[in-house]
Every structure is written in structure tokens, then in C-alpha cells.
Amino acid sequence: MSIYWGHLTAAAPIDPPSNSNPIQSHPKLSVDHGYLHHRTTEAPVLAPSHPFRRAVARYGRNASRNAIRTLLASAGVASLLIYPVPFLYTTDFIIAASNLPHHVWTAAQPLRYDAAITPDITMRSIWIHSSYMQALSPDVLLSALELQDELLGTTQDFSPGRYSGLPPPDDPNALLSPAQRDSLHVVNGLTDQSWAFQSPLLYWNCSRERILADDDILATVNDRKNQSTPANITLRHSIVFSGKRFEDRRLLAADALVITLLYRSASPVGRQWEKIAPSLPSKVGDKWDIYPANGQVSGSQLYEFKFRPITAQDSIIFAVAYAVALLYFLINLTKLRAIKSKIGLIVTVIAQIFLSIVSSLTVCAFLNLDLSRIPRAAYPLIVLIMSLEHILRLMNALIRTPSEDSTSNRIGYAFGEIAPAALATAIQNCAILVALSRVVSPGVSEFCIFAAVAIVLDTFYLSTFFLSVLSVDVRRMELGDALAKESMRRNRNSNQNRNSSWVKRILEGKIALSTRVAGTVVVLGFVFVAQSHFFGDGHISRRLSQLYGGKSLEPSISSPSKTSLLKEIHQARSPTSWLLLQDHDAAHEIIRIINPSAYSYIARVYEPLVFVKKGSNRVPRMKESILSPAVLDFINHQLTALVFIDLLVVFLLRRLTAYLLPDDKAKREGLSDPTEEPSLEVATLSGGHGLDIAMLAYSSGGYAVSVGLDRKICLWDLNNENRCYTISDPERDVGIRFPVLAIAIDEDSDWLAILSSDAVTFWNIATNVWGPIVAIETFNQKPTAFFLEPSPSSDIPRPVIVWKNGAVVDLEPTSGESSEFMLCSGLTCARQLLSIGLKSFTLSYQALDSGDGILHAFIPHEDDDAIFLQNYGDDRAISGWCGWPEAVQTKKRIDNPGVWRVLHDGSAIGLRRRPRTEPRNRQHQAISSVRNRLPSAKSQEVGAFNCWELWRAASGDRQDIDEVTPLFPIDEDPGQMIVCDPGPGVKFGESSVAFAFGNVIKLAQLSGHKTSGINEVSHESLMNMPTRRRKGGTVARATGT
């Protein structure tokens, strides 16, 4: 069993513990899962072997390796979604574009028919149709003027202010003269008899002569779109027309002229309208088809129109919400000490939120949603909470990744860890929001849809824009080095109690509940507050009970009423949708007339009296698009400009990245560093031996030594093109007696010691000359360990031999004297120790029952930085460190491991034979002797060398860097002896392992790493003896216990 001790960290000195041996103190080294359970509310994390997590981790690695391309892709999508916003939204609602949110709460919602509410005003209207989309022809305008004069009296040159001060008529049921009618107009004072009307004919002041003299009706309508009525109500296109068609942001056609009367409950003008309307079929029935045919409209609906500016209380609530979100972000930002460029991270977060919001506006415009009913301050808040949730989780996951790993692997692993939970959270929140949109009031419903769209787009920008910027920062800025030292820089106040309060741990970000459910809580809280605070009549509980009972969520209306959408006349827009489309500023203007101190009014809206000119062709020439007019207008006139702007943005961003990264073309292309590619590279050291290599050793100076069955000892200089020097050749000298039992190289790579059956022989690596020979009796027994230690009296190091019985022999090379002593069962340190901690601790061993290789890793808990190596009491706990019971254990099993060694980062590299898929023919297995092992043509055909492969496995539960690669490329000629079992393996530096494979050395190294010049002594040289004995096969594994 080999033991790998991970990174050591040191803290302030403490008193020596009563027992400093962690293995003896905690013989089981088990994890208390109950303890971990109550310490975290983290979302479940998929196992690294899960296919979905592996897929998203692979995407994260590819996005990191191609950060610039990913950034350009996200910029291209962002420009496609941002450029249309000025064309799809407006602030005046005149051009049929969506209205941007204001600092107000607005609504136009129907009330229940049985609601016991007295309306403030009553609204009656007539709709005048001609052929489909031909309502703006002069003859239709003149006919509409006739109908208007029939209902209201003469309206030519309408100016009711001239008759101010006239007394009301004595008989309220008598027909009114124009003067009496105008004296009751609301412009002359608000009374119970007041009235007002809206008509497109007011563009010409209701003058027949002006209409006939107008040569360009469309120009007049578009130029006078901001004209006001005598009641100071703007004649918006949405009010006086229905079924509009726009082109280049100008009205092109309309399907209906809409004349609307607004009157108070006791208004004689309203009674006159109600009295005259039933007589119109007999008067004008020869020119018009009238719906209903008798002219009597009885169906009505109560509507509430609201326009409420945000109050001081609302402003305080929004300010507190933003402050809390910002404070939480800054607190977590100060925890991320690996982020030196905090301003850069803040700018990136703001940019991502901006992209998500503006892109969501474009999508909502295509969905024809009205977002102006909720104050604009609510929209960034929701996206901010959602973005921070995933960004902070990604940064924390990145910091927890091993600093020795490549940047792309770290980002890929971190993204693979948080992406499934982030996606699940996004799907969960979207499902909740879509469900709520069916039971809340219309304004809140559209806000829910916006929030769902923003969540989807924010997840997209997180996985593209933020991921690419983070990859650039890790490589090009200080973040890379800081990430490796982050855990060492945390504040470790020795007097801090680990059992801090739950609230404090939330503020410190140590409990994932603070980010995992914060977005959902904020969104749901705001939806419920908005519903109850402003839309009081649409209680969610009542609407949920309706939905559960299978009832319609729409308010009940009068039972005698029938649908007002007359299919036979093919109305371009129904009266209901026309009413809900009205601009909220129009409601504000009416509120200022009726009750300036109020924020809403109730109106009883009657279904319109519809007039269709006889002989009209009401069949549409083409089906009306489901897209809004503003969207269609943008597609028809701005699509080319959109493509050009998008390509320009991508090109300029590409040039900007080339300017910011001028020194490294590879990094401009993909920002790939030398350690990006995780694949194993295989090098071959050949030409030194004629028979199998039985022993290997390596030194930190870049030298390797091999001993073969041909009785040759070769020195390989890895710093000098892998040159091979033969130290001992039986054909030239007999200085070394074989068999060689062990070899060792000192730390300075100056001396090589060769232990044979009766002596230790030294070889000077620097001068290539033999050194002293020290006699020793070994009885041809292989030692347990053999290494060199510096000698205080000589430049030649002292050989130290450890035998299986615990005896240690220390030889003096100059005098030849030796001393022998026995190892004791335990060692005790007599002096005070520093507080030593382990960043990771890995045991590698092979299971006796199955023969599988096992990497048993211990890592600190997520809230901690290191494992405390010594015992400690509760009063001695170091902040940020944990004990062995709290450490997280992971075990990884490797099937058929073969020969393997553990690297510096805790991962393992091995060489094995792939299991055959079909029974082997024993006749082809028969090999007479070692000398007859040159490959034959037939053996090459059956793949004598293709069955060998190299594998790499990471410690812990990480599988994103696990890989398998063939030992021989397909086009490589092995040119060596056939091998049944590999020889010994030894670790070459921190990232390479050498395997003896027949008479050559196969050097497996991680790409981008060098095998020489690493300041590390390979302790594999402590035990370098022949291992050509047959490995335990099926019988050995079956009998092992």
C-alpha cells in the first residue's frame, strides 16, 4: 500500500496535543454523515460519473479552452436580442409598440359581474367598418361623421368651452340642443351630468369640408397623433382605431373607426345615446349592416383602470431589497479572496444582468406582453437575485477545485458541479412562474412570464458570457495564482468558535440555503406582495380554488351577453382585446378629469354597436400575423441592419480581444495554455537493453537508472535528449555482481548506489567514474527500502538499508563501518509542533478480494480549508480547519489497474492490458522462452501490442479528467519484444510515470508538463527491486481475503 500525503498547511503554534498520531487517534477515519447533514443545506450534487454532469463538464472545458469563441458567440446572440429593443418599445404607445415600464402600477382588468361597485363612468362605443382594413377612406369617414351626428347631435367645429355657464335642461329626458349638450361637457366642470367623447373625426374637428379637402388622410392621422380632445384626452391611435397596420413606425391602415362616449350616471347625453341607438337600424339600415340588428346593446362588463405611482413606502421596499442583495453580494465577494479584480467581477455581473434584462425585453415583445403594469424597479431586482445565486455558486466551486489542475479542467469541473443544480433551479422557478401566471392578475402574470424568460436567458449568459470572461480572467489576470492560495489567505482567528449562529453562517455564505433558494423566495414574495398590495380583487387563494374546481379563471359576465367577436365580419381585433390594449396614460388622463386625487376609476363598458358598410368585402386578403405590428415592422425594415450590426459587433469584439492579447496568438484564438489538454502523452526510451528491464529509479535532477535482465545498468539523461549511458556492461567489465537487489540516487543527483549480493557500489553521475565499494552481507535478500542520506563527514552520501524484520543498517562509505538498530513500533516527538494541516490525504492500495485499485481520498469539508493533523479539543479548534471525523471520504475503484503510481496531485497513472472480449487460444499463448519474443506477423495481426493501454484516474469523486489512451499509436511500429506483463513503474517528477515495458521504458506524462527539473525526491527509489514475478491472477484474487 502506498500513501500519498497531500499539501501541508501550517497555522499558528499551539500546545502539543495528547496524541499526535491521526491514524491511531482515528483508526477508522470514517465520516459522520449525520454531522455533515446538519451542517449543510446544499442542493444535491450529481455524482461525477453521471452522464449529464459529465456532459456539462465537457461543455465547460470546451467553453474554457475556446473562451474567445464562446465570448463571441454570446456577444452575437446578445446583439441580436438587444438591437431590436428601441424599435419594439416606445414611451408613448402610439405606434403599436410595447410600452416600457414606468415608475407606476397600472392595470386595466375586468371585475366580477356581481361586484357591488358603483361605476365612476359609463362607456359606450360604435365601431364603423368598411372593407377589410379600409376604414380610413374618405367615404367611410364621412359616413362615420353622419352616425356620430345622429347619436350626439351636430359636432362640426366641436368646441364645448363656448357654452360654459348655461343652466342644465329642465327635462332630463328631452332631446338636447348642441348648446345644452356642450354646456354639460366635462370641460365646463365635473358634475354627475358630465360627459366627453373620443373620435377619430376630431382630427378634422368633425368637419365634413376638412375631410373632403384632405388629400392625404394617412399623413393627417400620423401627424396629429398627439392631438388632444377638448377634455384634454390624447387621441391616440389605440383609442380611436381598431385593427391597425403599421409600416416604418407609421399607421398604414385601420380596420375600424371607434367613437366612444364617456358619461356620468346622470348624464342626459348618455340617456340620449341610449334612446337614439335603437332607432338607427330604421334610419341607416339601407347603408349599414348593424350588430346587434335591433341596435340595443345590453351586454356590459365592469373594468377597473389604475394608474398608481410608486409611493414612498414602495421606494423604501425596493431600496431595502436592492441594498440587501448588494450587501449579500459584497459580503460574498470579500470572502472570495482569490478574486483580486473585484471591480472587474462586479462589472461582469452588471453586464450579464444588463444583457439578460434587455434580451428578455425583446423576447417579451415578440410574445406581445405588456410589461408596463409593474414598476420598472422590480425587473432588475429579480434578475439580480437569480444571477447572484448561480455566479456565487460557480465561483465557490471553482475555488474548491485543485489548483494543480489545468484551468479548463477546473472550470469544467466547477461548471459540471453547479450546472445541474442551476438548471434544475431554473426549470423549477420557470415552472412555478408559469403556473402562477395563470392564477394572478394580468399585470403580475406578464411579470411572471418576463421573470421566466429572464431566468432562461440568464442561465444562457452564465454558461457562455460569464464562463468565457471567467476563463480569460483566470489565465490573463491575477486570479489564477490567487486561486491556488485562496484557502491559505482566509482569516483564521484561533479564538473564533466554530459553532457560530445559523444567521451568521448565512451571512458568511457558509450555508447554501442563502443562495440556493433566495431567488425563488424573492420572486414568490414579490408576486404575492404585488398581487395583494395592488390587485386586491384577484386573490391568489380564490383563483387557485377556482382552478382546482375546474372553473374558468375569467371573471363572470352577464349571462345574456354573447361574444362580441363577430366571426362573419372578420374583425381584426375584438373589442375586449382592444380595451385591454389601451394606453395607461389614457387612463391617467381620465383619472385626472374624474377625480384628480384618486389612482383608479371603475367603468361600466358596454359592448360596441357595430356598423359594417353594405357591399364591403370583409374577407382578409391574408391571415393576420400573430406578431405585433411593431415586430412585423422591425422584420420588414430592420432585418438587414440587424444582421450588419451583429456582424459588426462580433468583428469589433474580435479585434478588441486581439488588441488586448497581442503577445500570444494561441491565447487570442482559444486562450489555451500548455496545460490545457489533459490527454496523456507517451514517450519511449529505447536502445539501452536487450532483455527485460527489471528495475527503475529516478532523481529530481532529471536522471533515470534502469537495470535489465541482460545485466546492463543504464543511466538516462532526460535533460539531454534522453541520452543513454551504459554504467555496467557484462561484456566489458565485471565490477558489479548480479543480481542487483536495489538502486538509489541521492537528492542532489550526484551519486548512484547499487546494492548487490555482497556490496554497495557507488557511481558518480557527474564525472561518470566509479566510487567506493562498501562490503555488506545481504544473503541475497531484497530489502524493504534502500535510500541515501547526506553524510556529515563526507561528500559521499550514506546508504541506509531497511530489512523486512525492522532492522536498519547505516553504512559509512569512506570507512566501510556500519551500524545496525531496530525500528521501534512508534515514534514520539519530544518538542512542541506547529499546527500542521493537510489539504488532502490520499491512500492508494489494491483490494485483495477483487484486485481493483483503490484511491481513498480524505478532503476537508466544504466549509474548511485543511484537515487538522493532530488531535484538538473544542477550545483549540482553528477556524477554517476540520478534524478527521469531519473530513469527507471518497473512494474510487479502478478495474484491472495493472501497474500504477500516484502523482503529486493525488491522481494515478497506470499501465494495464485490456481484457479480451473473446477466449484466448492457448496455442497462440505458448511462448517457449524469453529470448524468443520478437513479434511475428501473425501476432501483430491479432494485436499483440494494441491490447496495452495507459489510464489516468483522479482522486476523490472527480471523473472529468479520467482517461484511457493506447500505449502504442495505431501507426507506430513497436519494434520490440512481445510483453506478457509490464515491469516496474516509478514516478518521474510530479506529473509523469515511467513503466518498464520489455526492454524499453514507456514514459507517460501529462501534456504540457516536463519530466525533469522538479524539486521532488522520488520515494519510489526507496524500493527498486526486480518485479518480473507473475502478478496475482484469478486464483490469487479469489483466495485473497
Q: What is the 3-state secondary structure (H, E, C) of 378-437?
A: HHHHHHHHHHHHHHHHHHHHHHHCCCCCCHHHHHHHHHHHHHHHHHHHHHHHHHHHHHHH
226 inside domain: yes
Beta bridge partners of 1006: 680
**Residue 298 in this model has a pLDDT that exceeds 80:** yes
Per-residue confidence (pLDDT) for residue 768, from 0 to 100: 84
Does residue 23 carry a pLDDT above 50?
no
Same domain, yes or no: 572 and 529: no
Residue 16 DSSP class: P
Higher pLDDT, 941 or 380: 380
Helix (H) or strand (E) holding 847: none
Q: Check whether residue 345 and residue 209 sit in a common domain.
A: no
62-105: pLDDT as tens digits: 998 888 899 999 999 999 999 998 888 876 555 556 677 777 77
C-alpha cell at 778: 545481504
Query: Would you say 602 and 303 are in contact if contact means Cβ atoms under 8 Å apart?
Result: yes
Contact 428, 694 (CB under 8 A): no
pLDDT of residue 503: 52
Read off φ and ψ for residue 742, nearest 5 degrees. Answer: -165, 155
How many Å apart are CA 19 and CA 25, to the nearest integer? 7
Same domain, 481 and 583: no
Does the pLDDT at position 550 exceed 60?
no
ω before 292 within 30° of 0 (cis)? Answer: yes
Q: How many CB atoms lie within 10 A of CB 512?
A: 19
The answer as to whether 711 is a domain residue is no
pLDDT of residue 733: 62
Nearest to 196 by CA among 150, 141, 155: 155
Q: Say yes or no: 362 and 490 in one domain.
A: yes
Domain total for the chain?
Answer: 2
Cell digits of residue 440 = 394572478
Predicted local distance difference test score (pLDDT) of residue 582 = 65
Long-range contacts of 590-594 (CB under 8 A, 24+ apart): 590/121, 590/233, 590/262, 590/305, 591/305, 591/307, 592/232, 593/186, 593/190, 593/196, 593/231, 593/232, 593/233, 594/120, 594/121, 594/190
**Is the model's pLDDT at 385 over the cut of 70?**
yes
Torsion of CA 956, 958, 959, 964, to 10 degrees: -60
* Residue corresponding to grid cell 488531535: 871
Domain-terminating residue out of 504, 519, 548: 548
Q: Which of 513, 548, 583 is the last residue of a domain?
A: 548
> What is the average per-residue pLDDT within 584-603?
81
Q: From residue 138, give the alpha-carbon distance in Å to each of 28, 135, 204, 377, 1008.
A: 95, 9, 12, 46, 80
For 729-767, write each residue's pLDDT tens digit: 776 665 678 888 999 999 888 899 999 888 999 988 888
Write out the residue range of the structural domain in which residue 378 sits: 43-71+336-548
pLDDT of residue 533: 58
Q: Is 1011 helix (H, G, I), strand (E, B) or coil?
A: coil
Residues 454 and 488 occupy one common structural domain: yes
Residue 564 pLDDT grade (very low, low, confident, very high; cuts 50, 70, 90): very low
Position 94 scores a pLDDT of: 52
DSSP per-residue codes, 129-190: E-STT-TTSHHHHHHHHHHHHHHH---TT--GGGGTTPPPPS-TTSPPPHHHHHHTBGGG--
473 plus 599 within the same structural domain = no
Query: Domain for residue 168, yes or no?
Result: yes
In the predicted structure, residue 921 carries a pLDDT above the cut 60? no
Q: Terminus-to-terminus CA distance in the chain, angstroms?
A: 15
Give strand pairing partners of 305: 108, 601
Percent of the chain at pLDDT > 90 equals 17
Identify whether residues 538 and 582 lie together within a single domain.
no
Alpha helices in 268-311 (DSSP H): 268-276, 280-284
- Residues 577-606, mean pLDDT to the nearest whole number: 78
Where do we find the cell 455533515? 36
For the cut 90, the answer to whether the pLDDT of residue 24 exceeds it is: no
- Is residue 600 pLDDT above 50, yes or no? yes
Taking the CB of residue 954, how many other CB atoms lie within 10 A of it? 25
Name the band, by pLDDT with cuts 50, 70 and 90, for residue 340: low
Residues in the chain: 1041
Confirm whether 372 is domain-assigned. Answer: yes
Q: Which three cell numbers stand for residue 23?
A: 491514524
Give all strands of the β-sheet with 759-764 in edge-to-edge order: 742-745, 751-755, 759-764, 769-775
What is the CA 129 to chain-centroid distance, rounded? 53
The rounded percent of the chain whose pLDDT value lies above 70 is 72
Q: Does residue 894 surpass a pLDDT of 50?
A: yes
Range 763-774 average pLDDT: 87
Alpha-carbon 251 to chain mean position: 43
Are 136 and 279 contained in the same domain? yes
3-state secondary structure of 7: coil
Q: Please indicate, yes or no, if residue 878 is contained in any of the structural domains.
A: no
> How far apart are alpha carbons 903 and 426 in whole angstroms?
39
The predicted pLDDT at position 211 comes to 93
| Surface-to-core class of residue 753, CB atoms within 10 Å of its CB (0-12 exposed, 13-18 middle, 19+ buried) | buried
E-state strands within 564-626 = 600-606, 609-613
Evaluate the omega torsion of the peptide bond into residue 674 and state whether it is cis, within 30 degrees of 0. no
In a domain, 876, yes or no: no
Q: Would you say residue 279 lies in a domain? A: yes
For residues 532 and 598, which has the higher predicted lDDT (pLDDT)? Answer: 598
Residues 290 and 423 in one domain: no
From 589, 620, 651, give the residue that closes a domain: 620
Q: Is residue 78 part of a domain?
A: no
Structure confidence at residue 570 as a pLDDT band (50, 70, 90): low
Q: Is residue 642 within 8 Å of residue 178, measured between CB atoms?
A: no
**176/225 same-domain check:** yes
Lowest mean pLDDT among 187-201, 334-348, 641-655, 765-779: 334-348
**Which residues is 291 bridged to in the sheet?**
610
Give yes or no: residues 107 and 216 share one domain.
yes
- The whole-angstrom separation of Cα 576 and Cα 586 is 17
Whether the pLDDT of residue 443 is over 80: the answer is no
Distance between CA 862 and CA 879 in Å, rounded?
A: 13
Helices (H), 880-958: 922-925, 937-941
**DSSP for 138-154?**
HHHHHHHHHHHHHHH--
pLDDT in tens, 128-162: 999 888 999 999 999 999 999 999 999 998 888 88
pLDDT value at position 1016? 39
Q: Are residues 357 and 419 in the same domain?
A: yes
Q: Which residue has the higher pLDDT, 928 or 266?
A: 266
Give tens-digit pLDDT for 649-698: 999 999 888 887 664 444 444 444 444 454 678 888 888 888 888 999 88
Mean pLDDT estimate for the chain: 76
What integer pLDDT is reported at residue 216 of this predicted model? Answer: 92
Instruction: List strands edge to edge, sheet with 680-685.
Output: 680-685, 1000-1006, 992-997, 985-988
